[in-house]
Amino acid sequence: MAKAPETENATGRVLVLSTTVLGTMLSAAVVILACSGDAGVGSLRASSSGAGSSSGFAPGTPDAGPAPACVAKEAEAAPGKRPVDIVFIVDNSESMTEEIAEVEDQINTNFASIIEASDIDYRVVMLSHHGAHDPVGPDGGTAIQRICVKAPLSGTTCSPIPAKPAETARFVHHDVIINSTDGFCQVLQTFNGPDRNGSHPQGWAAYLRPVAFKVFAIFTDDRVSTACNGFTFDDKSVDPISGTASAETFDSALLALSQQFGTAARRNYVWHSIIGVAPFDSGDLTKPHPPDAPIVTEKCGADAIAPATGYQALSKLTGGLRYPTCGHDYTTIFKAMAKDVIDSSILACDYAMPPSPAEGKIDPATAVVRYTSGAAVTDFGRVADATTCGPDKFYIEGDRIKLCADACSKIRNDIAAEVKILFSCLPREQK
Protein backbone atom coordinates (compact mmCIF):
# COMPACT_ATOMS: atom_id res chain seq x y z
CA MET A 1 0.00 0.00 0.00
CA ALA A 2 1.30 3.48 -0.81
CA LYS A 3 2.68 5.49 2.07
CA ALA A 4 0.08 7.76 3.70
CA PRO A 5 0.44 11.50 3.31
CA GLU A 6 2.36 13.19 6.10
CA THR A 7 1.42 16.48 7.73
CA GLU A 8 3.61 18.44 10.13
CA ASN A 9 1.71 19.79 13.14
CA ALA A 10 2.34 22.92 15.19
CA THR A 11 5.00 21.27 17.33
CA GLY A 12 6.88 19.72 14.42
CA ARG A 13 5.51 16.21 14.96
CA VAL A 14 4.55 14.19 11.92
CA LEU A 15 1.06 12.76 11.79
CA VAL A 16 0.26 10.05 9.27
CA LEU A 17 -3.37 10.52 8.40
CA SER A 18 -5.01 7.69 6.56
CA THR A 19 -7.61 4.96 6.70
CA THR A 20 -6.87 1.28 6.48
CA VAL A 21 -8.38 -1.66 4.67
CA LEU A 22 -10.75 -3.64 6.89
CA GLY A 23 -10.11 -7.36 6.60
CA THR A 24 -12.50 -10.19 7.17
CA MET A 25 -10.33 -12.07 9.69
CA LEU A 26 -10.16 -11.14 13.36
CA SER A 27 -6.84 -11.04 15.18
CA ALA A 28 -5.47 -9.48 18.33
CA ALA A 29 -3.92 -6.64 16.37
CA VAL A 30 -6.82 -5.82 14.03
CA VAL A 31 -10.04 -4.06 14.94
CA ILE A 32 -13.05 -5.14 12.92
CA LEU A 33 -15.45 -2.25 12.73
CA ALA A 34 -19.21 -2.27 12.58
CA CYS A 35 -21.05 -1.62 9.37
CA SER A 36 -23.74 0.43 11.15
CA GLY A 37 -25.03 1.40 14.54
CA ASP A 38 -22.95 1.99 17.72
CA ALA A 39 -21.04 -1.27 17.82
CA GLY A 40 -18.05 -1.24 20.15
CA VAL A 41 -14.49 -2.09 19.21
CA GLY A 42 -14.11 -5.83 18.79
CA SER A 43 -17.80 -6.44 18.01
CA LEU A 44 -19.36 -7.02 14.62
CA ARG A 45 -22.83 -5.87 13.66
CA ALA A 46 -24.64 -5.16 10.40
CA SER A 47 -27.93 -3.64 9.40
CA SER A 48 -30.61 -6.01 8.15
CA SER A 49 -32.73 -5.17 5.16
CA GLY A 50 -35.63 -4.29 7.47
CA ALA A 51 -36.25 -0.61 8.06
CA GLY A 52 -34.27 0.67 11.03
CA SER A 53 -33.52 -2.81 12.46
CA SER A 54 -30.25 -4.65 13.00
CA SER A 55 -29.23 -8.21 13.76
CA GLY A 56 -26.10 -9.47 15.47
CA PHE A 57 -24.07 -12.46 14.40
CA ALA A 58 -21.04 -14.35 15.62
CA PRO A 59 -17.60 -13.73 14.11
CA GLY A 60 -17.26 -15.71 10.92
CA THR A 61 -21.02 -16.00 10.33
CA PRO A 62 -22.11 -14.63 6.95
CA ASP A 63 -24.16 -11.44 7.18
CA ALA A 64 -27.69 -11.89 5.93
CA GLY A 65 -27.95 -8.20 5.01
CA PRO A 66 -26.51 -6.43 1.99
CA ALA A 67 -22.74 -6.32 1.68
CA PRO A 68 -20.87 -3.25 2.92
CA ALA A 69 -19.85 -0.88 0.19
CA CYS A 70 -16.25 -0.10 1.12
CA VAL A 71 -14.69 -2.84 3.22
CA ALA A 72 -11.57 -2.55 1.08
CA LYS A 73 -11.34 1.18 0.44
CA GLU A 74 -8.96 3.85 1.65
CA ALA A 75 -9.98 7.42 2.36
CA GLU A 76 -7.81 10.36 3.34
CA ALA A 77 -8.38 12.29 6.55
CA ALA A 78 -6.87 15.76 6.71
CA PRO A 79 -6.22 17.87 9.81
CA GLY A 80 -8.29 21.01 10.16
CA LYS A 81 -7.00 24.57 10.06
CA ARG A 82 -7.97 27.29 12.47
CA PRO A 83 -7.93 31.02 11.81
CA VAL A 84 -4.88 32.97 12.99
CA ASP A 85 -4.75 36.54 14.33
CA ILE A 86 -1.25 38.05 14.12
CA VAL A 87 -0.38 41.04 16.32
CA PHE A 88 2.76 43.09 15.50
CA ILE A 89 4.13 45.41 18.20
CA VAL A 90 6.70 47.77 16.66
CA ASP A 91 8.77 50.10 18.86
CA ASN A 92 8.54 53.74 17.70
CA SER A 93 11.63 55.02 19.51
CA GLU A 94 14.30 57.04 17.72
CA SER A 95 16.75 54.14 17.36
CA MET A 96 14.29 52.01 15.37
CA THR A 97 14.53 53.72 11.95
CA GLU A 98 16.30 50.87 10.13
CA GLU A 99 14.28 48.17 11.88
CA ILE A 100 10.97 49.81 10.92
CA ALA A 101 12.09 50.16 7.30
CA GLU A 102 12.87 46.43 7.24
CA VAL A 103 9.47 45.56 8.71
CA GLU A 104 7.80 47.65 5.99
CA ASP A 105 9.81 45.88 3.29
CA GLN A 106 9.32 42.33 4.57
CA ILE A 107 5.79 42.18 5.95
CA ASN A 108 4.24 41.67 2.50
CA THR A 109 6.98 39.91 0.54
CA ASN A 110 8.16 37.32 3.06
CA PHE A 111 5.24 37.09 5.47
CA ALA A 112 1.72 37.87 4.30
CA SER A 113 2.28 36.45 0.80
CA ILE A 114 3.53 33.14 2.24
CA ILE A 115 0.57 32.83 4.60
CA GLU A 116 -1.84 33.83 1.83
CA ALA A 117 -0.53 31.02 -0.37
CA SER A 118 -1.18 28.48 2.41
CA ASP A 119 -4.93 29.21 2.28
CA ILE A 120 -5.13 30.12 5.97
CA ASP A 121 -7.76 32.52 7.27
CA TYR A 122 -5.50 35.16 8.83
CA ARG A 123 -5.67 38.74 10.04
CA VAL A 124 -2.86 41.15 10.92
CA VAL A 125 -3.19 43.76 13.68
CA MET A 126 -0.43 46.40 13.80
CA LEU A 127 0.26 48.19 17.09
CA SER A 128 2.53 51.10 16.24
CA HIS A 129 2.43 54.78 15.27
CA HIS A 130 1.37 55.31 11.66
CA GLY A 131 3.36 57.59 9.36
CA ALA A 132 6.88 58.15 8.04
CA HIS A 133 10.04 56.98 9.81
CA ASP A 134 12.09 60.19 9.66
CA PRO A 135 15.63 60.34 11.06
CA VAL A 136 14.82 63.65 12.76
CA GLY A 137 11.59 64.71 14.42
CA PRO A 138 9.48 67.55 13.02
CA ASP A 139 10.74 69.88 15.77
CA GLY A 140 14.39 68.98 15.17
CA GLY A 141 14.54 66.98 18.37
CA THR A 142 14.07 63.31 19.23
CA ALA A 143 12.11 61.57 16.52
CA ILE A 144 9.13 59.33 17.06
CA GLN A 145 9.56 56.78 14.31
CA ARG A 146 6.43 55.76 12.42
CA ILE A 147 5.46 52.93 10.11
CA CYS A 148 3.34 52.74 6.96
CA VAL A 149 2.32 49.26 5.82
CA LYS A 150 1.91 48.99 2.06
CA ALA A 151 -0.50 47.13 -0.20
CA PRO A 152 -1.50 44.42 -0.77
CA LEU A 153 -1.79 43.83 2.99
CA SER A 154 -3.00 47.40 3.49
CA GLY A 155 -4.92 49.57 1.07
CA THR A 156 -2.18 52.10 0.26
CA THR A 157 1.11 52.32 -1.58
CA CYS A 158 2.38 54.71 1.14
CA SER A 159 3.37 57.13 -1.62
CA PRO A 160 2.15 59.51 -0.42
CA ILE A 161 1.54 58.30 3.13
CA PRO A 162 -2.14 58.79 4.03
CA ALA A 163 -3.17 60.65 7.15
CA LYS A 164 -4.71 57.46 8.55
CA PRO A 165 -3.80 53.80 7.98
CA ALA A 166 -5.55 52.25 4.99
CA GLU A 167 -7.09 49.14 6.49
CA THR A 168 -8.41 46.08 4.67
CA ALA A 169 -10.28 42.91 5.57
CA ARG A 170 -6.87 41.35 6.38
CA PHE A 171 -5.19 44.33 8.03
CA VAL A 172 -6.01 46.54 11.03
CA HIS A 173 -3.61 49.28 12.15
CA HIS A 174 -4.29 50.45 15.73
CA ASP A 175 -2.38 53.73 15.72
CA VAL A 176 -0.59 54.01 19.09
CA ILE A 177 2.92 55.02 20.10
CA ILE A 178 4.98 52.08 21.33
CA ASN A 179 7.67 53.58 23.52
CA SER A 180 11.09 52.05 24.03
CA THR A 181 10.29 49.88 27.07
CA ASP A 182 6.49 49.74 27.40
CA GLY A 183 5.47 47.01 24.96
CA PHE A 184 3.77 44.88 27.62
CA CYS A 185 1.65 47.78 28.88
CA GLN A 186 0.72 48.97 25.41
CA VAL A 187 -0.67 45.52 24.60
CA LEU A 188 -2.72 45.41 27.81
CA GLN A 189 -3.95 49.01 27.75
CA THR A 190 -4.82 49.33 24.06
CA PHE A 191 -6.64 45.99 23.89
CA ASN A 192 -9.83 47.84 24.85
CA GLY A 193 -8.38 51.35 24.52
CA PRO A 194 -8.72 53.89 21.69
CA ASP A 195 -6.11 54.59 19.03
CA ARG A 196 -4.70 58.06 18.30
CA ASN A 197 -6.87 58.89 15.28
CA GLY A 198 -10.25 57.72 16.59
CA SER A 199 -10.68 54.82 14.19
CA HIS A 200 -10.95 52.19 16.94
CA PRO A 201 -12.49 53.80 20.06
CA GLN A 202 -13.09 50.40 21.66
CA GLY A 203 -9.55 49.13 21.05
CA TRP A 204 -8.27 46.35 18.81
CA ALA A 205 -10.03 43.58 20.74
CA ALA A 206 -13.03 43.79 18.42
CA TYR A 207 -10.87 42.78 15.45
CA LEU A 208 -9.75 39.46 16.94
CA ARG A 209 -11.69 36.24 16.31
CA PRO A 210 -12.39 34.15 19.44
CA VAL A 211 -11.67 30.89 17.61
CA ALA A 212 -8.39 32.16 16.13
CA PHE A 213 -4.93 31.28 17.40
CA LYS A 214 -3.00 34.40 18.40
CA VAL A 215 0.56 35.15 17.24
CA PHE A 216 2.41 38.13 18.79
CA ALA A 217 5.66 39.52 17.40
CA ILE A 218 7.49 42.42 19.04
CA PHE A 219 10.24 44.43 17.32
CA THR A 220 12.40 46.47 19.69
CA ASP A 221 16.04 47.01 20.58
CA ASP A 222 15.27 47.83 24.23
CA ARG A 223 14.15 46.03 27.38
CA VAL A 224 11.02 45.63 29.55
CA SER A 225 10.47 48.44 32.05
CA THR A 226 6.89 49.64 32.52
CA ALA A 227 3.90 49.60 34.89
CA CYS A 228 0.14 49.61 34.27
CA ASN A 229 -3.13 48.01 35.37
CA GLY A 230 -1.67 47.35 38.80
CA PHE A 231 1.30 45.40 37.39
CA THR A 232 4.99 46.25 37.26
CA PHE A 233 7.25 44.76 34.58
CA ASP A 234 11.01 45.22 34.89
CA ASP A 235 13.58 42.76 33.53
CA LYS A 236 16.50 44.85 34.87
CA SER A 237 18.08 44.67 31.43
CA VAL A 238 20.30 41.58 31.84
CA ASP A 239 18.64 39.65 34.67
CA PRO A 240 17.02 36.33 33.63
CA ILE A 241 15.22 36.00 36.98
CA SER A 242 13.59 39.42 36.73
CA GLY A 243 12.88 38.77 33.07
CA THR A 244 11.11 35.50 33.87
CA ALA A 245 9.07 37.16 36.61
CA SER A 246 8.01 39.94 34.21
CA ALA A 247 7.02 37.41 31.56
CA GLU A 248 4.98 35.33 33.99
CA THR A 249 3.22 38.45 35.30
CA PHE A 250 2.36 39.59 31.77
CA ASP A 251 1.18 36.10 30.84
CA SER A 252 -1.20 36.06 33.83
CA ALA A 253 -2.47 39.56 32.98
CA LEU A 254 -3.04 38.65 29.32
CA LEU A 255 -4.88 35.44 30.16
CA ALA A 256 -7.09 37.39 32.59
CA LEU A 257 -7.74 40.05 29.95
CA SER A 258 -9.66 37.73 27.63
CA GLN A 259 -10.50 34.04 27.27
CA GLN A 260 -9.29 34.35 23.67
CA PHE A 261 -5.71 33.93 24.88
CA GLY A 262 -6.42 30.57 26.54
CA THR A 263 -5.38 29.38 29.99
CA ALA A 264 -2.11 28.65 31.76
CA ALA A 265 -2.73 24.96 31.07
CA ARG A 266 -3.49 25.55 27.38
CA ARG A 267 -2.40 28.90 26.02
CA ASN A 268 -3.95 30.11 22.79
CA TYR A 269 -1.05 32.37 21.85
CA VAL A 270 2.65 32.44 21.05
CA TRP A 271 5.07 35.35 21.49
CA HIS A 272 7.96 35.95 19.06
CA SER A 273 10.72 38.40 20.04
CA ILE A 274 12.87 40.29 17.51
CA ILE A 275 15.05 42.10 20.02
CA GLY A 276 18.60 43.21 20.84
CA VAL A 277 19.71 39.73 21.88
CA ALA A 278 22.94 38.11 20.70
CA PRO A 279 22.37 35.53 17.93
CA PHE A 280 21.91 31.87 18.74
CA ASP A 281 24.64 30.96 16.27
CA SER A 282 27.06 33.75 15.36
CA GLY A 283 28.08 31.75 12.28
CA ASP A 284 24.49 31.41 11.05
CA LEU A 285 22.24 34.36 11.84
CA THR A 286 19.24 32.58 10.30
CA LYS A 287 18.89 30.30 13.33
CA PRO A 288 16.52 31.46 16.08
CA HIS A 289 16.99 30.69 19.76
CA PRO A 290 14.82 27.59 20.32
CA PRO A 291 12.31 27.67 23.20
CA ASP A 292 14.43 25.31 25.32
CA ALA A 293 17.59 27.44 24.97
CA PRO A 294 18.47 29.55 28.04
CA ILE A 295 17.84 33.28 28.33
CA VAL A 296 20.78 35.20 26.87
CA THR A 297 22.27 38.24 28.61
CA GLU A 298 24.49 39.41 25.74
CA LYS A 299 23.42 42.04 23.19
CA CYS A 300 23.69 41.57 19.42
CA GLY A 301 25.76 44.70 18.88
CA ALA A 302 26.68 48.19 20.04
CA ASP A 303 23.48 49.66 18.58
CA ALA A 304 21.27 47.37 20.67
CA ILE A 305 20.22 48.81 24.02
CA ALA A 306 19.40 45.59 25.91
CA PRO A 307 18.89 41.83 25.33
CA ALA A 308 15.30 42.08 26.65
CA THR A 309 15.28 39.15 29.04
CA GLY A 310 11.57 39.75 29.74
CA TYR A 311 10.56 39.29 26.12
CA GLN A 312 12.93 36.33 25.85
CA ALA A 313 11.29 34.67 28.84
CA LEU A 314 7.81 35.12 27.34
CA SER A 315 8.97 33.54 24.07
CA LYS A 316 10.34 30.60 26.03
CA LEU A 317 7.11 30.29 28.02
CA THR A 318 4.92 30.21 24.89
CA GLY A 319 7.22 28.35 22.50
CA GLY A 320 8.07 31.41 20.40
CA LEU A 321 11.13 32.38 18.37
CA ARG A 322 13.90 34.80 19.43
CA TYR A 323 15.92 36.68 16.82
CA PRO A 324 18.39 39.61 17.03
CA THR A 325 17.34 42.97 15.58
CA CYS A 326 20.94 43.70 14.53
CA GLY A 327 21.82 43.17 10.89
CA HIS A 328 18.68 44.76 9.47
CA ASP A 329 17.88 41.96 7.04
CA TYR A 330 14.74 40.26 8.30
CA THR A 331 14.11 37.95 5.34
CA THR A 332 14.75 34.78 7.33
CA ILE A 333 12.92 36.13 10.39
CA PHE A 334 9.71 36.84 8.49
CA LYS A 335 9.85 33.57 6.59
CA ALA A 336 10.33 31.68 9.86
CA MET A 337 7.42 33.50 11.48
CA ALA A 338 5.23 32.79 8.44
CA LYS A 339 6.05 29.09 8.70
CA ASP A 340 5.26 29.14 12.41
CA VAL A 341 1.90 30.78 11.69
CA ILE A 342 1.10 28.06 9.15
CA ASP A 343 2.17 25.30 11.54
CA SER A 344 0.18 26.88 14.37
CA SER A 345 -2.99 26.84 12.28
CA ILE A 346 -2.94 23.05 11.90
CA LEU A 347 -5.23 21.32 14.36
CA ALA A 348 -3.28 18.15 15.03
CA CYS A 349 -6.09 16.76 17.19
CA ASP A 350 -8.96 17.68 14.88
CA TYR A 351 -9.47 15.72 11.66
CA ALA A 352 -11.85 16.01 8.76
CA MET A 353 -14.27 13.18 8.12
CA PRO A 354 -13.07 11.76 4.80
CA PRO A 355 -15.44 11.90 1.84
CA SER A 356 -17.44 8.78 1.10
CA PRO A 357 -16.33 6.67 -1.85
CA ALA A 358 -18.54 6.25 -4.89
CA GLU A 359 -19.51 2.74 -3.80
CA GLY A 360 -21.14 3.69 -0.52
CA LYS A 361 -21.35 5.99 2.47
CA ILE A 362 -18.82 5.99 5.31
CA ASP A 363 -20.46 5.15 8.63
CA PRO A 364 -19.18 7.61 11.30
CA ALA A 365 -20.34 5.23 14.03
CA THR A 366 -17.57 2.81 13.07
CA ALA A 367 -14.68 5.26 13.41
CA VAL A 368 -11.63 4.23 15.40
CA VAL A 369 -8.55 6.40 15.87
CA ARG A 370 -5.38 4.31 16.02
CA TYR A 371 -2.28 5.82 17.65
CA THR A 372 1.05 4.14 16.98
CA SER A 373 4.31 4.96 18.73
CA GLY A 374 7.09 2.63 17.73
CA ALA A 375 5.82 -0.89 18.37
CA ALA A 376 3.03 0.26 20.71
CA VAL A 377 -0.47 0.54 19.25
CA THR A 378 -3.41 2.17 21.03
CA ASP A 379 -6.94 2.41 19.70
CA PHE A 380 -8.79 5.48 20.96
CA GLY A 381 -12.43 4.73 21.62
CA ARG A 382 -15.34 7.01 20.83
CA VAL A 383 -17.43 8.91 23.38
CA ALA A 384 -20.62 10.85 22.79
CA ASP A 385 -19.22 14.37 23.03
CA ALA A 386 -16.64 16.61 24.71
CA THR A 387 -18.44 16.48 28.06
CA THR A 388 -17.91 12.72 28.31
CA CYS A 389 -14.22 12.77 27.42
CA GLY A 390 -11.75 10.49 29.15
CA PRO A 391 -8.32 8.91 28.64
CA ASP A 392 -7.67 7.53 25.14
CA LYS A 393 -10.98 8.82 23.76
CA PHE A 394 -12.29 10.90 20.87
CA TYR A 395 -15.65 12.23 19.78
CA ILE A 396 -17.31 13.29 16.54
CA GLU A 397 -18.71 16.81 16.20
CA GLY A 398 -20.49 17.46 12.93
CA ASP A 399 -18.05 16.33 10.24
CA ARG A 400 -14.98 16.61 12.53
CA ILE A 401 -13.17 13.88 14.45
CA LYS A 402 -11.77 15.44 17.64
CA LEU A 403 -9.41 13.89 20.16
CA CYS A 404 -10.06 14.37 23.86
CA ALA A 405 -7.44 16.26 25.86
CA ASP A 406 -5.57 13.18 27.10
CA ALA A 407 -5.31 11.62 23.63
CA CYS A 408 -4.39 14.97 22.10
CA SER A 409 -1.55 15.47 24.60
CA LYS A 410 -0.14 12.04 23.85
CA ILE A 411 0.09 12.79 20.15
CA ARG A 412 1.40 16.34 20.50
CA ASN A 413 4.14 15.25 22.90
CA ASP A 414 5.24 12.18 20.95
CA ILE A 415 7.74 12.87 18.19
CA ALA A 416 7.24 9.32 16.87
CA ALA A 417 3.44 9.52 16.81
CA GLU A 418 1.50 8.13 13.86
CA VAL A 419 -2.26 8.41 13.64
CA LYS A 420 -4.59 6.38 11.46
CA ILE A 421 -8.33 6.77 11.25
CA LEU A 422 -10.15 3.52 10.48
CA PHE A 423 -13.61 3.30 8.94
CA SER A 424 -16.17 0.93 7.58
CA CYS A 425 -19.23 1.77 5.48
CA LEU A 426 -22.96 1.57 5.57
CA PRO A 427 -24.41 -1.25 3.44
CA ARG A 428 -25.39 -0.51 -0.11
CA GLU A 429 -29.07 0.00 -0.64
CA GLN A 430 -30.96 -2.84 -2.30
CA LYS A 431 -31.98 -2.14 -5.87
Residue 127 sits in a domain whose CATH number is 3.40.50
Would residue 355 count as lying in a domain? no
Give the number of other CB atoms < 10 A from CB of residue 358.
8
Tell me if 389 sits within 8 A of 61, measured CB to CB: no
The reply to whether 86 and 23 lie within a common domain is no
Would residue 133 count as lying in a domain? yes
pTM over 0.85: no
The one-character DSSP state at 130 is: B
Domain count, the chain: 2
Q: For residue 165, give the nearest of 189, 138, 197, 194 by alpha carbon.
A: 197
217/309 Cα distance (integer angstroms): 15
For residue 406, give its domain range: 6-77+363-422
Each of the 431 residues of the chain gets a pLDDT tens digit; together they read: 444 334 433 333 333 343 333 333 223 233 323 333 333 332 222 222 333 333 332 333 444 455 545 553 444 445 667 889 999 999 999 889 899 999 999 999 999 999 999 889 999 999 999 998 765 555 555 578 999 999 999 999 999 999 999 999 999 999 999 999 999 999 999 999 999 999 999 999 999 998 899 999 999 999 999 999 999 999 998 999 999 999 999 999 999 999 999 999 889 999 999 999 999 998 888 899 999 999 999 999 988 999 999 999 999 999 999 999 997 789 999 999 999 998 888 776 888 777 776 667 778 888 888 888 888 989 999 999 999 999 999 999 988 889 998 888 887 667 577 788 887 777 655 44
The reply to whether 158 and 29 lie within a common domain is no
> Which residues, 6+ apart, have CB-to-CB distance to 245 below 8 Å?
none
252/154 Cα distance (integer angstroms): 32
The reply to whether 53 and 135 lie within a common domain is no
298-to-114, 317, 374, 423 alpha-carbon distances in Å = 32, 20, 41, 55
